[in-house]
Copies of this chain bind each other. A is one copy, B any other.
Amino acid sequence: MPLVVQKYGGTSVGTPERIQNVARRVLATEHEGNSVVVVVSAMSGVTDHLIKQARQVSASPTDREMDVLLATGEQTTIALTAMAINALGGKAVSLTGAQAGILTDGIHTKAKIANISPRRIRKYLSDGFICIVAGFQGQTLQGQITTLGRGGSDLTAIAIAAGLKAHNCEIYTDVDGVYTCDPRIVPTARKIDVIAYDEMLEMASSGSKVMQSRSVEFAKKFKVPFEVRSSFNTNRGTIVKEETPGLENVVVRGISVERNQAKVTITNVPDKPGAASRIFTALGEAGVIVDVIVQNVSMSGTTDISFTLNKDELEKVGQVLDDVVKEIGAGDIAKRAGIAKLSVVGIGMRSHSGVAARLFEALGKGGVNIQMISTSEIKIAVIIDEGKIVEAANLVHEAFDLANA
């Protein structure tokens, strides 16, 4: 019998009614002739409530105890989901991460999955049960409860799909799939039917937060194709899978937009080894997350280094860099918020030239000034004024004809 792994996020199981809705979907999948393993998150709001309770008893709870606490969220959902399925005449059984055989390392609150031993899931499946597995959690070999950190339930689903060699892995969320661009920005944006892992990764790291990158990376590593789809309708979603020659026919798969960015330029950085390292080491140690970094060729013994970051991080930069800039003998620090990043992503770029030209031409037509450019093998990102981002996204979407499949 084909095996389907389905994962439902916190919004999809956010109320008893929604859990019953999930139960109906699961049973429908079973009635189509599949074995089903369901991975669920904590009901939306529950994890926040638990974190609030922790803060009320401790200013800095240990990671170990946070894991014991947070793991109750998913454990509640698995029991309720199994009950809901049983109430509809199905035959379901709940399994905690530990019971499901999710073995992790011992790094509490951000554990990595070390191994899956799905012996117990297999047994229940062969006895005709639907297995409801707690996402986001596992245990160490020593029996300590761990959690996998952000996006952990997706990871659980993909790991189980890999471990059980599932035929399908469906990640249910509150959006219909991955779009060619955010439909709130580009009204003609279209749902993408199939996307390669690397494209999904670039879209995610460029602001399309349908899934955390680590889950996509995990799926890529273990070659698990999966489908991102909505739990609130029955539309097909977006299939994420390995590259195939067919996938390369499209040059640009989608456009990713990230607002609320800021840029920092350090002028007259002496053009000698170690200067850039000093800057970014200091930022890294202060926990400032830097996105795009650009340094142009030096023509005069000094150079300008620019980088972007979330505008909320901008305030920290002065504190961190003022001394460093003096020490290395650089000039000023220029800071500016009010910028945005637009990225075009597509594995077809590798074999098609002219993508950059077409992108810049579209932006030029609209009078959009490009402040920074950064490229990867399958992505070109430009930094522009935030006020121009909607116009720019629509122009580029049209230039690459993304509204038409």
- Interface positions of A (Cβ within 8 A of B): 16, 19-20, 23, 50, 53-54, 56-62, 64-66, 68-69, 71-72, 75-76, 78-84, 86-87, 93-94, 96, 99, 120, 143, 145
Alpha-carbon distance A65/B76, docked complex (angstroms): 10
Q: Are B72 and A58 neighbours in the complex by a CB distance under 8 Å?
A: no
Knowing A16-B56, A69-B76, A75-B72, the reply to whether A83 touches B99 (Cβ < 8 A) is: no
CB distance A83 to B71 under 8 Å?
no
Residue ID in chain B nearest A16 by CB atoms:
B56
Instruction: Tell me, rounded to whole Å, the shortest Cβ–Cβ distance linking A355 to chain B.
Output: 51
A93 to chain B, nearest CB (A): 7
Whether A80 lies near B87 (C-beta < 8 A) is no
- List, in ascending order, chain B residues with CB within 8 A of A80's CB: 53-54, 57, 65, 69
Q: Is the CB of B64 within 8 A of A93?
A: yes
Assembly CA distance A62 to B96 (angstroms): 17
Would B78 and A62 count as touching, CB distance under 8 A? no
Residue of B nearest to A143 (CB): B99
Residues of B with C-beta under 8 A to A83 = 54, 57-58, 61-62, 65, 69
- Please indicate the chain B residues that have their CB under 8 angstroms from the CB of A72 in the complex: 72, 75-76, 79
Shortest Cβ distance from residue A138 to the other chain B in the assembled complex, whole angstroms:
14
Residue of B nearest to A95 (CB): B68
Given contacts A20-B57, A57-B83, contact A76 B50 (CB under 8 A): yes
Asked, given contacts A16-B53, A64-B93, A99-B143, whether A59 binds B76 with beta carbons under 8 Å apart, the answer is no
Please give, as numbers and ranges, the residues of chain B lying within 8 Å of A64 by CB-CB distance.
93-94
Contact B86 A61 (CB under 8 A): yes
Contacts of A53 in B (CB 8 A): 16, 76, 80
Select which of B57, B58, B84 is within 8 A of A57 by beta carbon. Answer: B84
Report the Cα distance A57→B77, complex, angstroms.
11
24 residue pairs A–B, Cβ–Cβ below 8 Å: A16-B57, A19-B57, A20-B57, A57-B80, A57-B81, A57-B87, A58-B84, A58-B86, A59-B87, A61-B87, A62-B83, A62-B86, A64-B94, A65-B80, A65-B86, A65-B94, A68-B75, A68-B79, A68-B82, A68-B94, A68-B96, A69-B79, A72-B79, A99-B143
Residue of A19, A68, A87, A96 with most partner-chain B CB within 10 A: A68
Minimum CB distance partner of A54 in chain B? B83
Contacts of A120 in B (CB 8 A): 143
| Across the A-B interface, the 5 shortest Cβ-Cβ residue pairs | A69-B79, A16-B56, A58-B87, A72-B72, A57-B84
CA distance in complex: A58, B87 (Å): 5
* A62 contact set on B, CB distance < 8 A: 82-83, 86
User: B60–A79 contact, CB under 8 A?
Assistant: no
Q: Which B residues are in CB contact (< 8 Å) with A76? A: 50, 53, 69, 72
Residues of B within 8 A of A96 (CB): 68, 145
Instruction: Report the minimum CB–CB distance from A82 to chain B (whole Å).
Output: 5
Residues from chain B with a CB closer than 8 A to the CB of A66 are: 79
Which B residue sits closest to A84, measured CB to CB?
A: B57
Chain B residues near A82 (CB, 8 Å)? Answer: 62, 65, 68
Q: Which of B20, B60, B61, B79 contacts A65 (CB 8 A)?
A: B79
